[in-house]
Amino acid sequence: MSEHIVIIGAGQAGAQAIASLRGEGFEGSITMVGEEPFLPYQRPPLSKAYLQGKLERERLFLKPETFYTDAKAELILNVAAAAIDREKKQIMLVDGREIPYDKLLLATGTRVRPIVVPNAHLKEIHYLRSIADVDTLRAVFQPGKRLAIVGGGYIGLEVAAVAVKHGLDVTVFEAMDRLMQRAVSPQVSAFYEEAHRAAGVKIHFNTTVEKFEGGDHLEGVTAAGQTWPADIALVGIGVLPNEEIARDAGLAVSNGIVVDNCTRTDDPSIFAAGDCTWHPGREDVFLRLESVQNAIDQAKHAALAMVGKPTCYAEVPWFWSDQYDLKLQIAGLGRPGDRHVLRGDPAARKFAVFHLRDGKIAAVEAVNAASEYLVGRKFIAEGKMVDAEKLADLSIPMKTMA
Amino acid sequence: MPKIKFIDHTDKEREIDVPEGWSVMEGAVKNLVPGIDADCGGACACATCHVYVDPAWAEKLPPKTDMEETMLDFAQDVESNSRLSCQIKVTQELDGLVVRTPKNQH
């Protein structure tokens, strides 16, 4: 009898797994279960072009419907998976259906971290994770509205950039003392702070939102003992891994579903890929990555593991963010204690910060600087020793260092 | 609607209607043209949508931005007619454009 692979989660990792399974010659049947009513789609444009109304919904879909029919993958959409029965090797859906599997891939992704303060239920308080979230937000995204953004991370800042250009009055409340604190170096934070302020965004640091004000409608945001008026709020304070279905089935979880570097859980029939995984990074330090790159690469490795060709996952993580005319490209992961080397001039809106560790590049953050990003990413992968003086010297082209 | 002709590495041709305003990459991906990954979805962040533009068309395309130029500098098997297909926006003037896709993007 032919093998049946079931995928829970219809996002970037799930779609990639189908492509890779068929690419690896898997001939059994595939079923993918997704909670949202849509074909797998790209999330990055949601806070950018889709919010701006510059991208129609159908352009978000990763693959056309014919891809799934050609791949003979059955899609069960708009239904969440409820549980895994590892003994019977089947999953249960919330509508009561039972689907048997031979191998199971968990690509369950993440969900937004809710803000837990008084009046957080008010309908003018938005999150941004799905098509539905943006459709709701866009309906009230009108010039002149006062938008309070809770959280100065990627989501909050990408929305701030779109909103201020659209004529909204934007204020960002950040609990830490700088923007994108988890993701970038202080120099890059400072540069983005300046760019946002210049565009008209107001930013408050060290300001934890304590309460939303209002009765039937949102009227304001109280933070650090002070109240600011607001018509709409967007909360972007991170995400939580959808790990409960794994945990309830007795699989190991720890800020994500625990997998080895071949995407295997401790059940030989169950694998996991994407944002939901707690996995050994290329430096063998367990971590969770929220990125397109990780979803794609881990799904490729999961497909290999499921067809019996497990290979180690050791790709260099990469990320990007578009805000205004600024393209931020990041490769690798910085750590406290890394030496930061600046190349180029932030005032020219084109520069990079390299993170050096033990004489090698550990990470690069590049703003409108693709050479620095690409060469940096290559050097990280190769573990190449670099000369900090040369890296900082703009008269030496990046290409000649490669 | 402008028609774009994609020729894959096995010389198989596919003529595809691509709406104006879409990128050449989107036309390829939505129609399952092989050889294009487009991991970043068109943000000019990954260089996995590299194509070769028919020389007769090279001049008629909008010029490369610095970002595209640099991303291409580091792509594999780059030729003078290489482009990132996510950066070519389809217009009526590009009706009949011919591009070749590589075997794969790595």
Cα–Cα distance measured from residue A326 to residue A331, given in angstroms and rounded to the nearest whole number: 16
Cα–Cα distance measured from residue A329 to residue A319, given in angstroms and rounded to the nearest whole number: 6
- Decide if A64 touches B, using CB distance below 8 A: yes
- Decide if B6 touches A, using CB distance below 8 A: no
Report CA torsion sign: A176, A336, A367, A318: negative
Q: Are the Cβ atoms of A370 and B43 closer than 8 angstroms?
A: no
CB-nearest to B26 from A59, A292, A327 is: A59
CB-nearest to A67 from B32, B66, B73 is: B32
Q: CA A124 from chain center: how many Å? A: 24
The CA distance from B46 to the nearest CA of chain A, in Å, is 9
**Dihedral Cα B70, B72, B77, B80, nearest 10 deg:** -90
- Decide if A42 touches B, using CB distance below 8 A: yes
Cα–Cα distance measured from residue A121 to residue A140, given in angstroms and rounded to the nearest whole number: 17
Q: Which residues of B touch A352 (CB under 8 A)?
A: none
Q: Which residues of B touch A66 (CB under 8 A)?
A: 32
Cα–Cα distance measured from residue A395 to residue A382, given in angstroms and rounded to the nearest whole number: 24
The CA distance from A223 to the nearest CA of chain B, in Å, is 35
* Residue-by-residue pLDDT tens, chain A, 402 positions: 589 999 999 999 999 999 999 999 999 999 999 999 999 999 999 999 999 999 999 999 999 999 999 999 999 999 999 999 999 999 999 999 999 999 999 999 999 999 999 999 999 999 999 999 999 999 999 999 999 999 999 999 999 999 999 999 999 999 999 999 999 999 999 999 999 999 999 999 999 999 999 999 999 999 999 999 999 999 999 999 999 999 999 999 999 999 999 999 999 999 999 999 999 999 889 999 999 999 999 999 999 999 999 999 999 999 999 999 999 999 999 999 999 999 999 999 999 999 999 999 999 999 999 999 999 999 999 999 999 999 999 999 998 887
At residue B43, the pLDDT reads: 82
Beta bridge partners of A208: none
At residue B59, the pLDDT reads: 87
Cα–Cα distance measured from residue A111 to residue A277, given in angstroms and rounded to the nearest whole number: 13
Tokens of B85: 């297909």
Cα–Cα distance measured from residue B49 to residue B87, given in angstroms and rounded to the nearest whole number: 9
pTM of the predicted protein model: 0.95
Q: For testing the chain B interface, which of A20, A43, A59, A297 should be mutated: the one with the most B CBs within 10 Å?
A: A59
Smallest CA–CA distance from B41 into chain A, residue: A42
Beta bridge partners of A332: A363
The residue that leads in pLDDT, B41 or A340, is A340
Q: Are the Cβ atoms of B32 and A296 closer than 8 angstroms?
A: no
Q: In one letter, which amino acid is A244?
A: E
**Number of Cβ pairs < 8 A linking chain A and chain B:** 50
Residue B46's pLDDT band (cuts 50, 70, 90): confident
For residue A41, the 8-state DSSP code is B
Instruction: Say if residue B106's pLDDT is above 80.
Output: no
Question: Hey, which bits of A9-164 come out as E strands?
Answer: 29-33, 73-76, 81-85, 90-93, 98-100, 103-106, 110-112, 125-127, 146-150
- A25 sits in the region (left: phi over 0; alpha: psi -120 to 50; else beta) called left
- Decide if A378 touches B, using CB distance below 8 A: yes
User: Which residue in B90, B32, B86 sits closest to A320, CA to CA?
Assistant: B86
Q: Which residues of B touch A317 (CB under 8 A)?
A: none
Q: Check if the beta carbon of residue A107 is closer than 8 Å to that of residue A11.
A: yes
Q: To 10 degrees, what angle do helices A370-382 and B66-73 make? A: 20
Residue B58's pLDDT band (cuts 50, 70, 90): confident
User: Which residue in A189, A137, A181 sits closest to A163, CA to CA?
Assistant: A137
CB-nearest to A44 from B26, B32, B41 is: B41
Smallest CA–CA distance from A41 into chain B, residue: B41
Q: How many CB atoms lie within 10 A of CB A119?
A: 17
- Decide if A327 touches B, using CB distance below 8 A: yes
The CA distance from B55 to the nearest CA of chain A, in Å, is 26
Beta bridge partners of A214: A218
At residue A210, the pLDDT reads: 97
Q: Check if the beta carbon of residue B83 is closer than 8 Å to that of residue B64.
A: yes
Q: Which residues of A touch B29 (CB under 8 A)?
A: 62-63
- Decide if B40 touches A, using CB distance below 8 A: yes
Residue B54's pLDDT band (cuts 50, 70, 90): very high
Chain B window 61-80: which residues touch A at a Cβ cutoff of 8 Å? 66-67, 70-71, 73-74
Cα–Cα distance measured from residue B83 to residue B59, given in angstroms and rounded to the nearest whole number: 12
Q: Are the Cβ atoms of A371 and B30 closer than 8 angstroms?
A: no
Instruction: Say if residue B40's pLDDT is above 90.
Output: no
Report CA torsion sign: A155, A160, A161, A165: positive
Tokens of B90: 């389809």
Cα–Cα distance measured from residue A133 to residue A121, given in angstroms and rounded to the nearest whole number: 15
At residue A1, the pLDDT reads: 59
Which H helix or E strand runs over B47? Answer: none
Cα–Cα distance measured from residue A172 to residue A196, given in angstroms and rounded to the nearest whole number: 10
Instruction: Say if residue B41's pLDDT is above 80.
Output: yes
At residue A391, the pLDDT reads: 96
Instruction: Say if residue B95's pLDDT is above 70.
Output: yes
Rounded to a whole number of angstroms, the CA Rg of chain B reads 12
Report CA torsion sign: A168, A169, A175, A176: positive
Q: Are the Cβ atoms of A375 and B74 closer than 8 angstroms?
A: yes
Q: How many CB atoms lie within 10 A of CB A244?
A: 13
- Decide if A370 touches B, using CB distance below 8 A: yes
Helix (H/G/I), strand (E/B), else coil: A305 = helix
- Decide if A357 touches B, using CB distance below 8 A: no
- Give the ipTM of the model, two decimals please: 0.90
- Decide if A44 touches B, using CB distance below 8 A: yes
Q: Are the Cβ atoms of B44 and A327 closer than 8 angstroms?
A: yes
Tokens of B88: 């070519």
Cα–Cα distance measured from residue A26 to residue A8, given in angstroms and rounded to the nearest whole number: 18
Cα–Cα distance measured from residue A355 to residue A357, given in angstroms and rounded to the nearest whole number: 7
Q: How many CB atoms lie within 10 A of CB B93?
A: 12
Angle at A101 between CA A269 and CA A21, to 5 degrees: 75
Residue A216, C-beta contacts closer than 8 angstroms, at least 6 positions apart: none
Length of chain A measured in residues? 402
Q: CA A232 from chain center: how many Å? A: 24
Residue A300 sits at φ, ψ, to 5 deg, of: -60, -45
Tokens of A299: 């799904």
Q: Check if the beta carbon of residue B74 is closer than 8 Å to that of residue B47.
A: yes
CB-nearest to A322 from B32, B43, B73 is: B43
Tokens of A64: 């056309």
The CA distance from B47 to the nearest CA of chain A, in Å, is 10
Residue A243 sits at φ, ψ, to 5 deg, of: -110, -10
- Decide if B44 touches A, using CB distance below 8 A: yes
Q: Check if the beta carbon of residue B23 is closer than 8 Å to that of residue B92.
A: no
Report CA torsion sign: A188, A192, A198, A201: negative
Q: Which residues of B touch A70 (CB under 8 A)?
A: 32
- The mean pLDDT of chain B is 92
